[in-house]
């Protein structure tokens, strides 16, 4: 089967790009990228070669994605800024927004591994993060929030 021009191989896999060797000939990298959802521990998540084929490293990668998703939800619903200086408040909001978006993009890039385990822990992390920080389940004051009180330091993420 010809693989030139980015042709897809059977099983929804794409060959990695061809790398020129030092002597001018082409050398094919044998690592394949999945282009459809798959279940398994042999995935590349965020970094080349990570987690590899080690089960412990795969579990660590899943934990990292889970924690990143929980942190995105925490930053979306936290109330940390107590300053009255509007310039300081806006600068802190900008910094928090930047960190939240960076973490959200890391979760999205991990999802691009097309690994079902990564997908499930990202969804579970967002769900737990929302349950803990965004819902009213664990709040003692089950009363609705007053109109003049803001729910968090940052506005909600919108699609």
* Tens digit of each residue's pLDDT (9 = 90 or more) over 17-50: 444 555 555 444 455 667 778 888 888 888 888 8
Tokens of 12: 């929804």
Tokens of 85: 């200086």
Q: Give the pLDDT confidence score for residue 18 in this predicted structure.
A: 46
Q: How confident is the model at residue 63 (pLDDT cuts 50, 70, 90)?
A: very high
Percent of the chain with pLDDT over 70: 67
Q: How confident is the model at residue 61 (pLDDT cuts 50, 70, 90)?
A: very high
- pTM for the full predicted model: 0.71
* Tens digit of each residue's pLDDT (9 = 90 or more) over 105-147: 999 999 999 999 999 999 999 999 999 988 877 776 656 655 5
Q: How far apart are CA 23 and CA 26, in angstroms?
A: 9
Collapse the DSSP code of 43 into the 3-class scheme (helix H, G, I; strand E, B; otherwise coil) and give the result.
strand
Q: Give the pLDDT confidence score for residue 44 in this predicted structure.
A: 84
Across residues 82-89, what is the average pLDDT? 89
Across residues 5-15, what is the average pLDDT? 53
Task: Considering only residues 48 and 69, tell me which one the structure prediction assigns the higher pLDDT.
Answer: 69
Widest pairwise Cα distance in the chain: 72
Q: How far apart are CA 145 and CA 153, in angstroms?
A: 15
Peptide bond into 148 cis (omega under 30): no
Q: Give the pLDDT confidence score for residue 84 in this predicted structure.
A: 86
Q: Alpha carbon of 144 to those of 32, 68, 79, 80: distances in Å?
A: 52, 29, 17, 20
Task: Considering only residues 31 and 88, tell me which one the structure prediction assigns the higher pLDDT.
Answer: 88
Q: How far apart are CA 107 and CA 65, in angstroms?
A: 6
Q: How far apart are CA 89 and CA 81, in angstroms?
A: 7
Task: Considering only residues 14 and 116, tell me which one the structure prediction assigns the higher pLDDT.
Answer: 116
The strand ranges marked E within the chain are 13-15, 18-20, 26-28, 32-34, 43-44, 51-52
């Amino acid at each position: 089967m010809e693989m030139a021009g980015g042709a897809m191989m059977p099983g929804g896999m794409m060959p990695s790009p061809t790398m020129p060797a030092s002597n001018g000939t082409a050398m094919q990298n044998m690592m394949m990228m999945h282009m459809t959802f798959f279940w398994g521990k042999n995935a590349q998540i965020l970094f080349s070669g990570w987690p590899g084929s080690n089960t412990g490293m795969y579990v660590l990668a899943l934990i990292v994605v889970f924690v990143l998703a929980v942190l995105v939800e925490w930053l979306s619903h936290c109330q940390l800024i107590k300053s009255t200086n509007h310039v300081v408040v806006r600068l802190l909001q900008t910094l928090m927004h930047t960190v939240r978006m960076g973490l959200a993009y890391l979760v999205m890039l991990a999802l691009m591994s097309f690994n079902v385990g990564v997908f499930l822990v990202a969804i579970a992390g967002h769900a737990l993060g929302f349950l803990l920080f965004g819902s009213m389940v664990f709040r003692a004051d089950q009363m609705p929030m007053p109109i003049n009180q803001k729910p968090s330091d940052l506005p909600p993420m919108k699609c």
